[in-house]
Structure 1
Amino acid sequence: MKNKRMKIARMECDMKQEDLAKAVGVTRQTIGMIESGNYNPTLNLCIAICKALGKTLDGLFWEESQ
């Protein structure tokens, strides 16, 4: 599942994938893979991303029930 919420939050913070990657200690490719749904990040990485973007885990990573 693509993570559009993470991408939107990153863009709202005026950050490039590379900027977010540096902030959380991963590669730009990792951020791109998370956003495209090709990588399932660890809980620690999810928390670091949330802190960097000023969002909650629920806000960025929780799947909404249909």
Structure 2
Amino acid sequence: MESTLNYLAGFVSLTFMGLSAMYKFKLDKLQGTGKIPNIISARQRQIMFFVLAVLSALIIFISRF
């Protein structure tokens, strides 16, 4: 049971990293278009998912000790 939870927690962290990368690509695509609200939204979501990925990775690291 514990190993299943470890795999699930690792998958969540990787999912957040993937979403962060997706919004980074979206942000790069929107640069120079003048769509300010979309640029701000993409940047905020990219940061949010990156922070969630780091926090979930820290939780995994701390839970192993």
* TM surpasses 0.5: no
Q: For the pair shown, which has the larger CA radius of gyration, 1 or 2?
A: 2
TM-score where L is the length of structure 2: 0.29
Structure with the larger helix share:
2
Whose RCO is larger (CA < 8 A, sep 6+)?
A: 2
TM-score where L is the length of structure 1: 0.29
